[in-house]
Amino acid sequence: MSKEPFMIQDIPGKGRGMIATRSISSGEMVLAEAPLFIQTGLPTNATVLASVSALNKAQQREFFSLANCHRGKLPPALGIFQTNALPCGFNDRISMAVATEGAIFLKGSMFNSSCLPNVNNYWVESEGKITFRAIRDISSGEELYISYCSCLADRETRQVELKNRFGFECNCTACSLSGEERKASDTRRSSVAKLHSEIGACGAQPSLGLRKVKLALRYLNEEGLLESHGDSYYYDGFQFYTSSSDINSAKAWAKKAWELACRNKGPDSEEARRFDVFVQNPRAHPSFGLLTRQKLSGPEL
Ligand SMILES: C[S@@+](CC[C@H](N)C(=O)[O-])C[C@H]1O[C@@H](n2cnc3c(N)ncnc32)[C@H](O)[C@@H]1O
């Protein structure tokens, strides 16, 4: 069995891409890689060139052989950086937090994009590495995809972002839907993003908050995005239960958040470790018992 379960090959219409060379289980690490170099803040051609000039000749050649979708519009070094850089740090798709550092990874730069990704990229600060984990079972021969844009936007918004920032028209499974199916997918994805802020405003209304969490989870599941985006919603659900002193349910929801974080970010990730504290002891959360003790129930929205 080869150490890395993928090979890089030409994919019609997409340049190079990553193909699974064996079946990969959900949660399995596909690749962990240290950056070639990191840029902090807003990169310019001068800052990228300064980093590149510190590399050895072979590395410089590899950098300049990466894809550049900004050819003719940006200077080459900056164009290559903008086409290939991945976030190092907290880059939350739901709250739209953007990492302040981005880096070039020679192998990691070979992942193409899908709005229904089967791999999640996650920066592990403590190791100074990016990890790529399978977020569903992948068959041998399937292409491996991360997502370059927010999956919780409608198709039109995703298409514009991908065209402007990465120069391609996305024909992934989600973007290829048409008619009623496309409309339903757009509604579900936009609703999940909207529910995120509504849930945040439900601190004093745990039953309502929980119904919104369940709706978001249902939509994520229907969109095939539960594995990649579900952990923070399960954590929201946990908080509604613990604030209402429903310890058994709180524990069960913290466990779901933990399981998903282990799968898409790894058991040693900051998120998985934080959720694990509450699996062990739901009372450890600062919101424990803040509201009237109650059993949360009621119809799903
Ligand atoms: C980070 S590179 C990925 C590797 C690249 N395919 C290569 O050949 O080196 C990003 C570029 O890959 C291409 N790409 C990524 N995902 C794509 C997709 N779903 N469809 C078409 N092209 C895609 C675009 O040209 C994009 O600017």
Shared domain for 107 and 18, answered yes or no, is yes
In the chain, % of residues over pLDDT 70: 95
State how beta strands 37-40 and 101-104 pair: antiparallel
Q: Is the pLDDT of residue 108 over 70?
A: yes
pLDDT of residue 298: 55
- Ligand 1 atom 9 nearest Cα: 67
Shared domain for 229 and 156, answered yes or no, is no
Shared domain for 14 and 156, answered yes or no, is yes
Work out the pLDDT band at 91, boundaries 50, 70, 90.
low
Q: In this structure, is residue 218 part of a structural domain?
A: yes
b/e map of 204-226 (b: 16 or more CB within 10 Å)? Answer: eebebbbbbbbbbbebbeebbbb
Shared domain for 143 and 87, answered yes or no, is yes
Q: Is there a contact between 154 and 29 (Cβ–Cβ < 8 Å)?
A: no
Distance, C-alpha 213 to centroid of its chain: 19
pLDDT of residue 90: 66
Q: Among the atoms of ligand 1, which is closest to the Cα of residue 172?
A: 19
Give the residue-averaged pLDDT of 178-198: 97
ipTM over 0.90: yes
Which among 147, 173, 199 is the end of a domain?
173
Shared domain for 188 and 142, answered yes or no, is no
pLDDT of residue 94: 45
Predicted confidence (pLDDT) per residue in 268-284, tens digit: 999 999 999 999 999 99
Q: In this structure, is residue 39 part of a structural domain?
A: yes
Shared domain for 210 and 277, answered yes or no, is yes
Shared domain for 153 and 196, answered yes or no, is no
- C-alpha torsion 51→56→57→63, nearest 10: -40
Q: Among the atoms of ligand 1, which is closest to the Cα of residue 15?
A: 8
**Ligand 1 pocket, Cβ-based, cut-off 6 angstroms:** 13-17, 66-67, 69, 83-84, 109-110, 112-114, 166-168, 170, 172
Give the residue-averaged pLDDT of 190-218: 96
CA of 130 to the centre of ligand 1 (A): 19
CA of 210 to the centre of ligand 1 (A): 39
- Ligand 1 atom 13 nearest Cα: 14
Q: In this structure, is residue 16 part of a structural domain?
A: yes
SS3 92: coil
Predicted confidence (pLDDT) per residue in 138-153, tens digit: 999 999 999 999 999 9
Q: In this structure, is residue 116 part of a structural domain?
A: yes
What one-character DSSP code corresponds to residue 295? -
Distance CA 208, CA 301 (A): 9
Q: Among the atoms of ligand 1, which is closest to the Cα of residue 111?
A: 3
Question: In sequence order, what are the residues at sequence separation of 6 or more whose Cβ sits closer than 8 angstroms to the Cβ of residue 65?
Answer: none
Give the residue-averaged pLDDT of 204-225: 96
Shared domain for 78 and 188, answered yes or no, is no
CA of 83 to the centre of ligand 1 (A): 8
- Ligand 1 atom 1 nearest Cα: 84
What is the arrangement of strands in the sheet containing 15-20, beginning at the earlier edge strand? 6-11, 15-20, 143-146, 112-113
Give the residue-averaged pLDDT of 93-111: 80
Question: Which CATH number do you get for residue 226?
Answer: 1.25.40
Q: Among the atoms of ligand 1, which is closest to the Cα of residue 68?
A: 27
Structural domain that includes position 46: 6-173
Q: What is the mean pLDDT of the chain?
A: 94
In the chain, the number of structural domains is 2
Shared domain for 185 and 162, answered yes or no, is no
CA of 170 to the centre of ligand 1 (A): 10
Which among 173, 195, 230 is the end of a domain?
173
pLDDT of residue 93: 46
Which among 121, 152, 173 is the end of a domain?
173
Q: Is the pLDDT of residue 218 over 50?
A: yes
CA of 164 to the centre of ligand 1 (A): 13
CA of 233 to the centre of ligand 1 (A): 30
* Sequence-ordered strand ranges (E) for 91-206: 101-104, 112-113, 119-124, 129-134, 143-146
Closest CA to 159 of 147, 146, 149: 149
Q: In this structure, is residue 296 part of a structural domain?
A: no
pTM to 2 decimals? 0.94
